[in-house]
Amino acid sequence: MKTVTLIVAFMLACFVALPAGVACTQTATKPAAPAVSSNNVNAAQLLEDVRALSSDAMEGRKFGTPAGARARGYVARRFVEAGLKPFFGEAFEQAVTHTEGGKTTTGANVVGFVRGKSNPSRLLVVTAHYDHLGVKDGKVYNGADDNASGVAALLQLAARFSREPPENSIVFAALDAEEGPGAGARTLVKSLKEAKRNVRLNVNLDMVSHSDRGELYAAGTYHYPFLRPYIEQVAARAPIKLLMGHDRPEQGQDDWTKQSDHYAFHREKIPFIYFGVEDHKDYHQPTDDFETITQEFFVRAAETILDMVRTLDGELTNLEKEMRK
Ligand SMILES: [Zn+2]
C-alpha cells in the first residue's frame, strides 16, 4: 500500500510541477519491479497479466464484444508462451453462444492442456473466467480481481506444469460469459461430457487477489468431504490463511456453490474446489482495478493454488479410491 501511495504522490507531483513532463510519463508507464518476489511463481509476470487484462484498453472484457475478443487474443498468446497445446483440435478457441430474448451473443473459451506423464487420459480441469462487465454509464469495469487475477494465476500454473509435467493431464480453460449467463463453463462441460472425457476434478479460480485479511477460501468440501485432508495439508504450509467454507446450502447468498463456473462441473457430479476471496468494497465496482488488488496476498495465493493443484495431481489415485467410497 505504501508503494501505491508513493506512486500516486509522485504522479501528482509530476502533474503539478512539470509541463508535459517526459521523464514523469516514462517513469509512470514503465512496468514497476514487483515489490513481492516468489520462488514458485513468476510474480512480475503474474502481476503484469492482471495489469494488462484489467487495463482500460480491455474495456472490461464483456462477453460478445470486440474488447472480449481482444482479451481472448491476449490469453491465447500467453497460452502459447506458457507452452500449452490446444485441447480441442487445432485452435485454443472454443465457440460459446448464448441466446436470450431472441438475441444470440457469441464469444469463446480459450482451452489448452499439458499432457500427463502417468495417466494422460485422466483430466484435472483448471478454470478461470476472463470476461467481466464491460463499460456501463461511461465507466470501465476493469475487473482486476474479478477475474483477471484468476486468469493470471491460471497462466502461472500452466507455465509451471508445462516445464514440470503433471502425472495426469491438466486442462487449462479461460472461460467466457461467466458474468450473467455462465455459458462458457456450460459449453466446456457439455463438450467434455459428449466426448466422454475422464474429468476427475475441477479447480476454479475466481477473485483470488484482493484480501486485506489475507484470507483465501477453498469451497466445495461440504459436497466433497474427501477433499478436506488434501486442503488441510496445503493449508498447514500455506503462506496465507487458506480456509474452507462458503459451500453449505443453509448459508444462502454466502453459499458459493452456484456462484461461479465450478457449478457447471458440480451439476455433473464432478468434484470441485473453488478458490476465491470474500466480497470486498471494489467487487463489481469500476474501482476493481489493478491498483486496488493486494499484491503480496495475490502472489502468495497463486503459490498456494499451485501447491494445491500439484498435491491433487500427485494424490489423484488415492483421491479416486476415496471418491468411490
Ligand atoms: Zn467472477
pLDDT of amino acid 34? 62
**In terms of domains, do 156 and 97 share one?**
yes
**Ligand 1 center from residue 147 Cα (angstroms):** 5
**Ligand 1 center from residue 25 Cα (angstroms):** 33
Alpha-carbon torsion, ordered 108, 172, 145, 270, to 10 deg:
100
**In terms of domains, do 122 and 96 share one?**
yes
For the chain, give the secondary structure using H, E and C. CHHHHHHHHHHHHHHHHCCCCHHHHHHHHCCCCCCCCCCCCCHHHHHHHHHHHCCHHHCCCECCCHHHHHHHHHHHHHHHHHCCEECCCCCCEEEEEEEECCEEEEEEEEEEEECCCCEEEEEEEEEEECCECEEECCEEECCHHHHHHHHHHHHHHHHHHHHCCCCEEEEEEEECCCCCCCHHHHHHHHHHHHCCCEEEEEEEECCCCCCCCCEEEEECCCCCHHHHHHHHHHHHHCCCEEEECCCCHHHHHHCCCCCCCHHHHHCCCCCEEEEECCCCCCCCCCCCCHHHCCHHHHHHHHHHHHHHHHHHHHCHHHHHHHHHC
Give the number of domains in the chain: 2
**Ligand 1 center from residue 137 Cα (angstroms):** 20
At residue 9 the predicted structure's pLDDT band, cuts being 50, 70 and 90, is very low
Which residue in this structure is represented by grid cell 501447491?
307
**Ligand 1 center from residue 292 Cα (angstroms):** 16
What digits encode the pLDDT tens for the residues 255-278?
999 999 999 999 999 999 999 999
- Residue 237 belongs to domain spanning: 36-324
**What is the chain's Cα-based Rg?**
19
Please check the confidence at residue 20 and state whether its pLDDT lies above 60.
Answer: no
**In terms of domains, do 12 and 106 share one?**
no
**In terms of domains, do 167 and 255 share one?**
yes
**Ligand 1 center from residue 42 Cα (angstroms):** 23
**Ligand 1 center from residue 205 Cα (angstroms):** 9
What digits encode the pLDDT tens for the residues 162-189?
999 999 999 999 999 999 889 999 999 9
Q: Give the type of residue at 204.
A: N
Please check the confidence at residue 14 and state whether its pLDDT lies above 60.
Answer: no
Say how far apart CA 273 and CA 202 lie, in whole Å: 6
**In terms of domains, do 11 and 160 share one?**
no
**Ligand 1 center from residue 170 Cα (angstroms):** 22
**Ligand 1 center from residue 260 Cα (angstroms):** 7
Share of the chain above pLDDT 70, in %: 90
Cell of 211: 484480501
Q: Give the type of residue at 118.
A: S
**Ligand 1 center from residue 89 Cα (angstroms):** 28
**In terms of domains, do 63 and 2 share one?**
no
Please check the confidence at residue 140 and state whether its pLDDT lies above 90.
Answer: yes
183 burial (CB, 10 Å; 0-12 / 13-18 / 19+) is buried
**In terms of domains, do 157 and 279 share one?**
yes
**Ligand 1 center from residue 73 Cα (angstroms):** 19
**In terms of domains, do 20 and 93 share one?**
no
**In terms of domains, do 83 and 217 share one?**
yes
Please check the confidence at residue 17 and state whether its pLDDT lies above 80.
Answer: no
What digits encode the pLDDT tens for the residues 76-94?
999 999 999 999 999 999 9
What digits encode the pLDDT tens for the residues 120-132?
999 999 999 999 9
Residue 100 pairs in a beta bridge with 103
93 burial (CB, 10 Å; 0-12 / 13-18 / 19+) is buried
Which CATH number covers residue 319?
3.40.630.10
**Ligand 1 center from residue 207 Cα (angstroms):** 6
**Ligand 1 center from residue 178 Cα (angstroms):** 7
**Ligand 1 center from residue 146 Cα (angstroms):** 5
At residue 1 the predicted structure's pLDDT band, cuts being 50, 70 and 90, is very low
pLDDT of amino acid 180? 84
Ion ligand 1 — residues with CB < 5 Å: 146-147, 206
What digits encode the pLDDT tens for the residues 37-55?
998 999 999 999 999 999 9
Indicate the average pLDDT of the chain.
Answer: 91
**Ligand 1 center from residue 85 Cα (angstroms):** 25
**In terms of domains, do 231 and 127 share one?**
yes
Q: Compute the average pLDDT of residues 176-204.
A: 96
For 43-77, give the secondary structure using H, E and C. HHHHHHHHHHHCCHHHCCCECCCHHHHHHHHHHHH
**Ligand 1 center from residue 179 Cα (angstroms):** 7
What digits encode the pLDDT tens for the residues 210-244?
999 999 999 999 999 999 999 999 999 999 999 99
Residue 128 pairs in a beta bridge with 174
Share of the chain above pLDDT 90, in %: 85
**In terms of domains, do 75 and 89 share one?**
yes
